[in-house]
A and B are shown apart, each in its own frame.
Chain A
Amino acid sequence: MSLPFEKKKLEECAKEQIHLLGKVQSHGVLFVLSPGNLEILSVSANAGDILGVEPSRLCGTSLEKWIGEATIAQLKLASKERAYTFNNPLTVHFAGGLIFDGIAHLSGEQLIFEIECRDAADISASEGIDDYFRLTNTTLQRVTPEDSVEQLAQKVAEDVKDFTGFDRVMVYRFAPDWHGEIIAEAREDELEPFLHLHYPASDIPPQARELYRKNWLRIVRDVTDEGTPIEMPDQQPLDLSMSTLRTMSWAHLKYLQNMGVKATMTISLLTPAGDLWGLIACHHYAGPYFLPYKARSACSNYALVVSTRITDRERSISVMRASRRERELPAALRELFKGQDLQEQIIRNASRFLHVLRADGLVIIENAWIETAGSTPSQESIAHIVENIRSSGSRDFVRSYDSLTDLELTDSGELGKSAGMLVIEVTPAWLVLAFRDEFVEEVKWGGDPNAPVEMLSNGRLTPRGSFSAFAQTVRGKCRSWTKTDRMIGAEFRTALSSFVIQRNEQLTALNSELASKNTEIEQFVYSISHDLKSPLVTIGGYIQALKEDLEVGEIDELRHSISRIDNAAERMNRLIEDLLAFSRIGRDDGTPCIIDMREFLQEISDDFLTNTKDIELKLPDNPRDILGAPRAIQRAFENLLNNAAKHARRNDGEPLSIWVGCQLSKKHIVYTITDNGCGIPPEFHERVFQLFERLNPKVKGTGVGLASVTKVMEQHGGTVKLESSDGDGCTFSLFFPRSF
């Protein structure tokens, strides 16, 4: 028996239009009526058996002729309002004294009126909606907030069994692939347990699931009942989706018979969105079994309430788990941002991320570079997988694979223990793959899932005859990636990409900083090459002069040359020391702190005044504290004061005065150092701040002082400005940002 053939037959089964079969169960009669005048258009063939009136006599007459006036009045009223189901069931007194439950609904333009014999029921229904309350309250009172979905389902199964009297009541849950598992069961002791058995998706094909979604309760009184046909005039199709008497498909009845079931009732469990979540499946083995309409109605309303309870519980458990998982992420991410190299940090903290993602192995891929941690496939396999992922053209940044065999890799032998993966695409070039090891699962099936059907000698497929537990070992799969896993993956991705953006911005900033550093270094090297060479030229020159003078014995010249050599050597030393000090600005200045400027300026002033004569120095009355590296700030102030003392001599010989001032602007604390000296011509204002630039050749100095001030201020995020006109004193302003 070839599998494709079998598969084809299964697909045919899936196409069977079961709601258009046109057969009803034998314990009731189905009328097709014209809604306006209640003319009987058609009736099921068993009318003669149940009502004692042949269909031929019924068809073409009005229903009024056959049933009690009160019921007719109700039907007519419902017909006018086109709302039938609210009144169900109607009590129907049929001619000859028989009493039925009448159930009306519209199907297209036709009114379907089904009557069920009350005597056929195996339990009696109470009046009103007492049944519903009794059933619902029992369960709700037994439910506790700690119940898992399975515990809740167990209580449902027990209560339904209690209420309906079926031999076995099961709660069946659909998996995302539509196969199902029995998660709760209440049964008579002598029955073999079905709990935790799985059933293949083909056991309940899509169109059956669709009917379960629309019509919440189906009952089959007797699975051996082949049903009775309804002949429609002109072979019009009749949609019996909402019919309560409709027969199930032959295959399904056969399936139940093979299981040893005699009667069954199935109630749908729906999600709040109206999707099929599962079923309450009731089996009866002792013989045909039937519940009156009111009891069924109580069951289906009850199912609606417990559906909400179950799906709510399921959701809140998953939300709780997800939020617990979510809380693990930030701590792990904090580790990540401690280092500069993100990928290295991920690998270094791999165990944390493996835990967060519930994975066994982690792989970071940037272009062709691959780094792994934990249990992963071989490097070659990863390269292969990456190629596969990149060519897949998927637009999802985070996607999961429960099995790597879906990727159709050629060398699956190299996968190691890994069986599934979560792909996190940070950028097109940068991927993070989380791998899960194979999870070998024992699944117990209700019968062999690989052979859900068997072939009869006439070539017809029949549902499998054996439903005894069939253990299957599932290999090549990992524990399924959940929505939460993917959500954590997505959050991980968001964090990583924000880091990438941040890193790019840092790089851009670094590049521009480097560019300005380059200019600075060039200027520096230029100055050094010139200014350090100068004393060397001097030394070389005087040494030659010494040689010549020694030969002719010019002693005075000798003395002069030696002192000049000394002087040049000393100057060179000073230059080098100043240079070193300059280059150290911003490196060895210690930690910035808030400087008490009153005390700080007083100390600087005391030092300054002991080393100078005839200079008056005034400090500000209300100095504002600043944030800075004290040693560097001290250097800046000292340089400016010394600069004033050296250069700002007054032309008239009067003593020099220096004022230190402090003002606040919107964004800055501004310290000013003002002198009443000879001033600096505007054309030199820019050059005085450059390294080794000097204005006056007669004043000793290396030209590092003001360049140092500039550098100190740059290090503190501030600036220095000079205001002066020739002969009218100078004001140097230090702008410190008001950063605190």
Chain B
Amino acid sequence: MPPEARLVRFLLIEDDPDHAHLIRRSLKRSRVANNLVHFPDGQAGLNYLRGEGEHSERMLPDVVLLDLRLPGLSGHEVLKAIRADENLAHIQVVILTTSADERDRETAAKLNANSYLIKPLEFSQFQKMVDDLSFYWGVWNLTPSLDEDNS
């Protein structure tokens, strides 16, 4: 049996409201307790991560689920900003996109994305993917505890 499951905090940056809705719905049905914050564009997501303005009380997520094609800042630019920020660099970033393009994957890998997932066309797989994802990050994978609360 896996060790004790923790609450996994997700931050979703996704411009497509339907995709966001489906991801949220899948996470709700996950075996692992989780929490999801969603922003429709990269700049808003970064503002949250940095605790700017209204987000001063925010909890840093364990995993950022990041779409690539976004209005304004692209997913790659958001990833670059996260890795360049010493307070955020450790956060797990999972690219979640419809693009299977080789160059997109290469760019993501170079920018040290932790994972690259392609949104499946069938929802049963989608559900399973999100479930596995939360299970992996919540149960198997131990993330460093660098949250301000724990330091």
A-to-B contact residues, CB < 8 Å: 526, 529-531, 533-534, 536-538, 540-545, 564, 567-568, 684, 692-698
Q: Identify A545's interface contact among B68, B69, B119, B123, CB under 8 A.
A: B123
Whole-angstrom distance between the alpha carbons of A273 and B101 in the complex?
Answer: 80
Given contacts A530-B69, A538-B16, A540-B126, contact A697 B40 (CB under 8 A): yes
Given contacts A694-B71, A695-B72, contact A541 B22 (CB under 8 A): yes
16 cross-chain CB contacts under 8 A: A526-B99, A530-B98, A530-B101, A537-B22, A537-B98, A537-B119, A537-B120, A538-B19, A540-B123, A541-B18, A542-B22, A543-B123, A545-B25, A564-B18, A568-B18, A697-B41
Given contacts A531-B69, A536-B121, A537-B119, contact A542 B99 (CB under 8 A): no
Whole-angstrom distance between the alpha carbons of A693 and B121 in the complex?
Answer: 23
Q: Are the CB atoms of A530 and B120 closer together than 8 Å?
A: no
* A698 surroundings in chain B (CB, below 8 A): 40
Residues of B44-85 whose CB lies within 8 A of A = 68-72
Smallest Cβ-Cβ distance to B77: which chain A residue: A683
Smallest beta-carbon distance A566→chain B, Å: 11
Number of A-B contacts (CB under 8 A): 71
Whole-angstrom distance between the alpha carbons of A536 and B68 in the complex?
Answer: 17
Q: Are the CB atoms of B123 and A534 closer together than 8 Å?
A: no
Count class of interface residues, chain B: 20 to 34
User: What are the 3 A-B residue pairs with the smallest beta carbon separation, nearest first?
Assistant: A544-B123, A541-B22, A538-B18
Smallest beta-carbon distance B5→chain A, Å: 23
Residues of B78-136 whose CB lies within 8 A of A = 97-101, 119-124, 126-127
Given contacts A692-B69, A694-B71, 7 further A-B contacts (CB under 8 A): A534-B98, A537-B126, A540-B121, A542-B22, A544-B124, A545-B123, A684-B72
* A695 surroundings in chain B (CB, below 8 A): 71-72
Q: Are the CB atoms of A537 and B101 closer together than 8 Å?
A: no
Given contacts A544-B126, A697-B40, contact A534 B19 (CB under 8 A): yes
Q: Are the CB atoms of B101 and A529 closer together than 8 Å?
A: yes
Whole-angstrom distance between the alpha carbons of A538 and B19 in the complex?
Answer: 6
Smallest Cβ-Cβ distance to B121: which chain A residue: A540
Q: Are the CB atoms of B71 and A538 closer together than 8 Å?
A: no
* B122 surroundings in chain A (CB, below 8 A): 540, 544
B-to-A contact residues, CB < 8 Å: 15-16, 18-19, 21-22, 25, 40-41, 68-72, 97-101, 119-124, 126-127
Whole-angstrom distance between the alpha carbons of A596 and B13 in the complex?
Answer: 49
* B123 surroundings in chain A (CB, below 8 A): 540-545
Q: Are the CB atoms of A537 and B121 closer together than 8 Å?
A: yes
* B97 surroundings in chain A (CB, below 8 A): 530
Q: Are the CB atoms of A567 and B72 closer together than 8 Å?
A: no
* B70 surroundings in chain A (CB, below 8 A): 697
Whole-angstrom distance between the alpha carbons of A205 and B29 in the complex?
Answer: 118
Smallest beta-carbon distance B22→chain A, Å: 4
Smallest Cβ-Cβ distance to A703: which chain B residue: B71
Q: Are the CB atoms of B126 and A541 closer together than 8 Å?
A: yes
* A567 surroundings in chain B (CB, below 8 A): 18
Smallest beta-carbon distance A250→chain B, Å: 99
Q: Are the CB atoms of B19 and A530 closer together than 8 Å?
A: no
Q: Are the CB atoms of B121 and A533 closer together than 8 Å?
A: yes
Smallest beta-carbon distance B100→chain A, Å: 7
Smallest Cβ-Cβ distance to A564: which chain B residue: B18
* A543 surroundings in chain B (CB, below 8 A): 123
* A684 surroundings in chain B (CB, below 8 A): 72
Given contacts A537-B98, A694-B71, contact A545 B22 (CB under 8 A): yes
* A542 surroundings in chain B (CB, below 8 A): 18, 22, 123
Q: Are the CB atoms of B71 and A564 closer together than 8 Å?
A: no
Q: Are the CB atoms of A697 and B71 closer together than 8 Å?
A: yes
* B119 surroundings in chain A (CB, below 8 A): 533, 537
Smallest beta-carbon distance A523→chain B, Å: 11
Smallest Cβ-Cβ distance to A693: which chain B residue: B71
Whole-angstrom distance between the alpha carbons of A531 and B98 in the complex?
Answer: 8
Smallest beta-carbon distance B14→chain A, Å: 10
Smallest beta-carbon distance B66→chain A, Å: 15
* A697 surroundings in chain B (CB, below 8 A): 15, 40-41, 70-71
* B40 surroundings in chain A (CB, below 8 A): 697-698
Smallest beta-carbon distance A185→chain B, Å: 93
Smallest beta-carbon distance A312→chain B, Å: 79
Q: Identify B21's interface contact among A533, A544, A564, A696, CB under 8 A.
A: A564
* A529 surroundings in chain B (CB, below 8 A): 98-101
Whole-angstrom distance between the alpha carbons of A696 and B72 in the complex?
Answer: 7
Smallest Cβ-Cβ distance to B26: which chain A residue: A541
Q: Are the CB atoms of A533 and B22 closer together than 8 Å?
A: no
* A693 surroundings in chain B (CB, below 8 A): 71
Smallest beta-carbon distance B51→chain A, Å: 23
* A538 surroundings in chain B (CB, below 8 A): 16, 18-19, 22
Whole-angstrom distance between the alpha carbons of A531 and B127 in the complex?
Answer: 21
Whole-angstrom distance between the alpha carbons of A533 and B100 in the complex?
Answer: 10
Smallest Cβ-Cβ distance to A538: which chain B residue: B18
Q: Are the CB atoms of A544 and B127 closer together than 8 Å?
A: yes
Q: Are the CB atoms of B98 and A533 closer together than 8 Å?
A: yes
* B72 surroundings in chain A (CB, below 8 A): 684, 695-696
Whole-angstrom distance between the alpha carbons of A645 and B103 in the complex?
Answer: 35
Smallest beta-carbon distance B25→chain A, Å: 6
Whole-angstrom distance between the alpha carbons of A542 and B122 in the complex?
Answer: 9
Interface centre among B19, B68, B97, B98 (most CB of A within 10 A): B98
Smallest beta-carbon distance A569→chain B, Å: 11
Given contacts A526-B101, A531-B69, A696-B71, contact A541 B41 (CB under 8 A): no
Smallest Cβ-Cβ distance to B70: which chain A residue: A697
Whole-angstrom distance between the alpha carbons of A568 and B70 in the complex?
Answer: 17
Whole-angstrom distance between the alpha carbons of A564 and B22 in the complex?
Answer: 11
